[in-house]
Amino acid sequence: MNVTEDSTEQCGNSLTRELTQNPLKKIWVPSSTNGLPERHISQRKVCMTNCPTLIVTVGLPARGKTYISKKLTRYLNWIDVPTKEFNVGQYRRECVKIYKSFEFFQPDNEEGLKIRKQCALAALNDVRQFLTDEGGQVAVFDATNTTRERRETIIRFAEQNGFKVFFVESVCEDPDVIAENIVQVKLGSPDYIHCNTEEAVADFMKRIKCYENSYQPLDEELDRDLSFIKIIDVGRRYLVNRVQDHIQSRIVYYLMNIHITPRSIYLCRHGESDLNIKGRIGGDSGLSARGKEFAKALRQFIQSQNIRDLKVWTSQMKRTIQTAEALGVPYEQWKALNEIDAGVCEELMYEEIQQRYPQEFALRDQDKYRYRYPKGESYEDLVQRLEPVIMELERQENVLVICHQAVMRCLLAYFLDKTAEELPYLKCTLHTVLKLTPMAYGCKVESVCLNVDAVNTHRDRPSNVDVSRLPEEALLTVPDHH
Amino acid sequence: IACLCEKGNKQNDLFSDIQNLQMSSKILVGKCSNLTLIVMVGLPARGKTYISRKLTRYLNWIGIPTKVFNVGEYRREAVKHYSAYDFFKSDNEDAVKIRQQCALAALRDVKNYLTEEEGQVAVFDATNTTRERRDMILEFGAENGFEIFFIESVCDDPNVIACNILEVKVSCPDYQDCNKTDAMDDFKKRIECYRMNYQPLDPDQYDKNLSFIKVIDVGRRFLVNRIQDHIQSRIVYYLMNIHVQPRSIYLCRHGESQQNMQGRLGGDSGLSTRGRKFAGALAEFVEEQNLKDLKVWTSQMRRSIQTAEALNVPYEQWKALNEIDAGLCEEMTYEDVRERFPEEFALRDQDKYYYRYPSGESYQDLVQRVEPVIMEMERQENVLVICHQAVMRCLLAYFLDKSADEMPYLKCPLHTVLKLTPVAYGCKVESISLNVDAVNTHRDRPEEVKRGPSILIRRNSVTPLTSPEPNKKPRMEGLDDPIIREVTPAQLTLCSASHTTLGCLICPALSSCFS
């Protein structure tokens, strides 16, 4: 338990408040002795404004709006900005149970127009609830929003509620890209469940036509006071107007780095290390005999995959570098990929941690994501540290990342959209490669075990996380080791 | 690498093994990024030189050797005395010839920098307003295998332009014999000479296959076309975050801490009595400055937060601002370190920038860690950063364009606030001591230290270099004259030890440069 600082001495005419260290996150905060909330300090978060942001997509159907919405939402949530997407198409599907044909979208179909407007308003209502009542920071309003009139409605709505608005428009006239989009995500949509491919494609093309005539793209002149990014031809060109704040700047940077070229990302840990065998965490040991076996097996696996232009990344710790060396190909070392720093617990066994720091051990089980080792790091810190790696992974094509358990969990959580609660318990076993291939709106995962034995290093959350628990209860889930 | 597993755990061996490892990885990996030629485009007084120099400073700080080649300077060398704007008229044949020669000379130096001097990015700072000129540069780039990235600055706001002219043009060597009004007048006519033939980048037709960013109205809007690689992506992000609003940045360390008093490194102790006094003095100082919307940032270490607490204003904690991690040496005195880890102690003095404490960090690591802070500082206006000695040195090196070699020895004493105000192309520094005594924690570079081998640069591990001084070319008679590079006395004094990797390759006075 960390001790409070010494007396509150008066110096000059200012009173220095006492500081206490929050036991979970090891953050120094003024102690609220007079019951006042600690409104004066805040830990650096991405979104420092109190003003929530409403991101509004704009574009004809099959221009990647939903792809962008989902991907952006996933990224923002991963960097700890509570974000949610609101897809108006889904509201429409709730409302109109059965989709008949493109005629629903014809501009003169009054019934259709009425329903679509209602759906938009229902979605906006949920947006308001998310941003105002549920602690949301960013809402992504995913719809065509192709008319100025519709966009003005949204702007008024945002003004009334104190939200900032940022438009993301996708403009594309490449018929190949559009065709590919339709194949990847439209054919499988609930709307076309009863159609064959040709029918679906034909109908969808007519649907796009319904919007084309009334489409008013964002305009450099007419919309010069709005904040927006126009993405042209899947990222060939961007027009960025009036970025207002940090979060918008980050969003723009992210959007400018993503691409849709097919590729695969391979994630794995280093081969089994000497410290792994002894059940010790952290440290910088070398590979065990089995670890070296794995490195060889990894080499064979990579060769069998016949990957074009594979980039290989490692951390700066011996065990990942040794693993990469066995591949016989060029690789890059990233310090940012180093394993989580366990601070005073480095190189200890779980049993020793329980013995020396029982309270820390319990706190960690209570909130493994936010828990920071004394003089070490938390998963939350890891995510911040790894963000540039993710950004570069987005830019790259085929990449193999040889890293560590906690690091791999963070990266995996990003690709598979896992929450902060799930992240620290994702299973990332030694000697197994995860192959991630972006597909439709998500990521396909293939788990390839390279058939070289290794210890298990995964510790599940025990049922009793109370500080008062018995050592046996704390150590219940510790994996076997020598 | 088989030997890496067999060897014992001696720190020193590991250090040199990893050094060797990194060297071998680097050789295997090869050149991580292409050589890039950034080409500025725009009418005079559009901020091209401002952008060139700021961008160069940033790239050097994050470890990408970059240099500016300002054609105007070549012209000033060639034509010793500037008479009037007529020089820039498009029908002034002699002048046109000279200007063309200057551009070519600059490009020759660009080629030399990128191919012979280990430069990675060259910034070609000139108007480059015609397609003809840009086509010539594109050809030059293609011949030499350089990636070309254009940065065009477009602005028609007369206030902005007038302001630019006053800040940087009126005081330039061209106008040293003029009064302000005449200078302003002449410069405006100069702009007109270019305007008639100005062909802006055309993203829809002529230039649609080029890689460029068009900066419109000082960052209100950007048009970004065909970003090709990582470095262009970073450049674009940087350009989109900088602004020209007047503001001040205040840097200081936490108040004296208990560990400071004991001469110990690192740790997470609280303020001493004098440290608390400083915090109070800082509060008064901040109030006196009477700033609009001051943002206050601290690290997550107790001493920095305690200092901020005394200000009684909201502040934000950044883990990225934590002091350098001294690893196994945390909380030791320098004497302890010298006793317990003599090899480490010596290594650190050999190369303080690259040296990483065992299980800790190096200044090089710090720069990478602190980069997002710099990016956010660029976005912000008035900011006070209460941090630590090594961190403050990193930040200061960025703002004052100090090299990797100088950075670890910058003087950042306790209880002193540095006020940085961007002015013209650089930064004005005011050092304000708040008159509260404190221990001195500064260790100078030891005298007879043999310079160690410089560790190879890894991408994503950063190595700031001072933005090299622009080349001063001797007056040219003709294009065919060989350019003889002489080291003038002026150049020698500019040549600090920072130029070890680059400048000293061309500087004959190598050994005497080490301070």
Residue B406: pLDDT over 50: yes
pLDDT at B424: 83
How crowded is residue B288: how many other Cβ atoms within 10 Å of its Cβ?
8
List all residues 6 or more positions away from B66 whose beta carbon is below 8 Å from its beta carbon: B55, B56, B59, B60, B119, B120, B121, B122, B123, B467
Task: Residue B45: give its domain's CATH number.
Answer: 3.40.50.300
Q: Residues A375, A377, A380, A382: is their CA dihedral positive or negative? A: positive
Which residue from B minimizes the CA distance to A273?
B5
List all residues 6 or more positions away from A114 whose beta carbon is below 8 Å from its beta carbon: none
Determine, for residues A249 and B221 on separate chains, whether the beta-carbon distance falls below 8 Å.
no
Determine, for residues A14 and B280 on separate chains, whether the beta-carbon distance falls below 8 Å.
yes
SS3 B463: coil
Q: Is residue B285 part of a domain?
A: yes
Among the candidates B197, B217, B241, a domain finishes at B241
Instruction: Tell me: is residue A473 an annotated ligand-binding position.
Output: no
Q: Give the residue numbers spanning the domain of B124.
A: 32-241
pLDDT at B2: 28
ipTM of the complex: 0.90
Percent above pLDDT 70 for chain B: 80
The radius of gyration of chain B's CA atoms, rounded to the nearest angstrom, is: 25
Task: Judge whether A339 counts as a catalytic residue.
Answer: yes
Q: Across the interface, which of A11, A41, A375 has its CB nearest the CB of B280? A: A11
Distance of CA B433 to the CA centre of its chain: 26
Residue B479: pLDDT over 70: no
B196 and B314 housed in the same domain = no
Per the DSSP assignment, residues forming a β-bridge with B253 are B387
Q: Is residue B373 part of a domain?
A: yes
Q: Is residue B82 part of a domain?
A: yes
How far apart (Å, rounded) are the C-alpha atoms in residues B21 and B466? 27
Q: Is residue B162 part of a domain?
A: yes
Determine, for residues A238 and B224 on separate chains, whether the beta-carbon distance falls below 8 Å.
yes
Which residues of chain A are modeled with pLDDT < 70? Answer: 1-16, 32-50
Split at pLDDT 50, 70, 90, the class of B34 is: confident
Hey, what are A327's tokens?
A: 């591949």
Decide whether A53-256 matches A265-476 in CATH topology: yes
- Compute CA distances B160 → B170, B218, B222, whole Å: 15, 8, 17
- Which of A3, A28, A224 should we substitute to test contact with B (largest number of B Cβ atoms within 10 Å)? A28
If one counts the domains in chain B, the total is: 2
Q: Is residue B381 part of a domain?
A: yes
- Check CB contact of B320 with chain A, cutoff 8 Å: yes
B262 and B377 housed in the same domain = yes
Q: What does B387-429 look like in DSSP terms, one character per residue? A: E-HHHHHHHHHHHHT--TTTGGG----TTEEEEEEEETTEEEE
How crowded is residue B95: how many other Cβ atoms within 10 Å of its Cβ?
17
Strand order, beta sheet including B416-423:
A41-43, B315-317, B295-298, B383-387, B249-253, B416-423, B426-433
What is the set of active-site residues of B? Answer: 254, 323
With beta carbons less than 8 A apart as the criterion, state whether B406 and B466 touch. Answer: yes
| B404 closest CA partner among B351, B357, B442 | B351
Where along chain A do its domains lie?
53-256, 265-476
In this prediction the pTM is 0.87
Instruction: Tell me: is residue A271 an annotated ligand-binding position.
Output: yes
Q: What are phi and psi of B287, to 5 degrees?
A: -60, -45
B264 and B233 housed in the same domain = no
- Compute CA distances B122 → A473, B110, B146, whole Å: 62, 6, 10
Determine, for residues B276 and A9 on separate chains, whether the beta-carbon distance falls below 8 Å.
yes
Among the candidates B410, B440, B470, a domain finishes at B440
B58 and B186 housed in the same domain = yes
pLDDT at B209: 96
Task: Residue B410: give its domain's CATH number.
Answer: 3.40.50.1240
Residues in chain A: 482
List all residues 6 or more positions away from B454 whose beta carbon is below 8 Å from its beta carbon: B351, B354, B500, B501
Q: Is residue B495 part of a domain?
A: no
Question: Running DSSP on this structure, what letter comes out for residue A160?
Answer: H
How crowded is residue A47: how many other Cβ atoms within 10 Å of its Cβ?
20
Per the DSSP assignment, residues forming a β-bridge with B264 are B333
Instruction: Tell me: is residue A272 an annotated ligand-binding position.
Output: yes
Determine, for residues B314 and A239 on separate chains, whether the beta-carbon distance falls below 8 Å.
no
Q: Is residue B11 part of a domain?
A: no
What is the average pLDDT value for chain B, to the nearest integer? 84
Architecture in CATH of A53-256:
3-Layer(aba) Sandwich (3.40)
Of the two residues A475 and B513, the one the predictor is more confident about is A475
Of the two residues A226 and B498, the one the predictor is more confident about is A226
How far apart (Å, rounded) are the C-alpha atoms in residues A122 and B292? 41
Of the two residues B318 and B488, the one the predictor is more confident about is B318
Average pLDDT over residues B415-437: 94
Residues in chain B: 515
How far apart (Å, rounded) are the C-alpha atoms in residues A343 and A365? 17
**What residues of B are in contact with residue A284 (Cβ under 8 Å)?**
359
B218 and B365 housed in the same domain = no
pLDDT at A38: 52
**What residues of B are in contact with residue A48 (Cβ under 8 Å)?**
316
Among the candidates B402, B419, B440, a domain finishes at B440
How far apart (Å, rounded) are the C-alpha atoms in residues B252 and B419? 9
Which residues of B are annotated as part of the binding site for substrate? Answer: 253-260, 303
Question: Which secondary-structure segment (H or E) carries B67?
Answer: strand B66-70
Tell me the per-residue pLDDT of B138-168, one tens digit each, with 9 for 90 and over. Answer: 999 999 999 999 999 999 988 989 888 888 8
pLDDT at B514: 29
Tell me the per-residue pLDDT of B94-153, one tens digit each, with 9 for 90 and over. Answer: 888 999 999 999 999 999 999 999 999 999 999 999 999 999 999 999 999 999 999 999
Number of H helices, E strands in chain B: 18, 12
Question: Running DSSP on this structure, what letter comes out for residue A18?
Answer: P
B332 and B228 housed in the same domain = no
Burial class, A240, CB count within 10 angstroms (exposed 0-12 / middle 13-18 / buried 19+)? buried
| A17 closest CA partner among B274, B296, B254, B310 | B310
Per the DSSP assignment, residues forming a β-bridge with B379 are none
pLDDT at B194: 93
- Which of B5, B287, B380, B381 should we substitute to test contact with A (largest number of A Cβ atoms within 10 Å)? B5
Determine, for residues A252 and B309 on separate chains, whether the beta-carbon distance falls below 8 Å.
no
List all residues 6 or more positions away from A129 whose beta carbon is below 8 Å from its beta carbon: none
B280 and B388 housed in the same domain = yes
**Domain A265-476 homologous superfamily, CATH:** Phosphoglycerate mutase-like (3.40.50.1240)
With beta carbons less than 8 A apart as the criterion, state whether B245 and B297 touch. Answer: no
Angle between helices A110-128 and A88-95 (to 10 degrees): 120
**What residues of B are in contact with residue A400 (Cβ under 8 Å)?**
none
B42 and B154 housed in the same domain = yes
B229 and B256 housed in the same domain = no
pLDDT at A48: 57
Number of H helices, E strands in chain A: 15, 17
Q: Across the interface, which of B301, B309, B319 has its CB nearest the CB of A16? A: B309
pLDDT at B469: 59
β-strands B221-225, B212-216: how paired?
A: antiparallel
Residue environment code for A80-109, b if the CB has 16+ CB neighbours within 10 A, otherwise e: bbbbbbbbbbebbbeebeebeebebbeeee
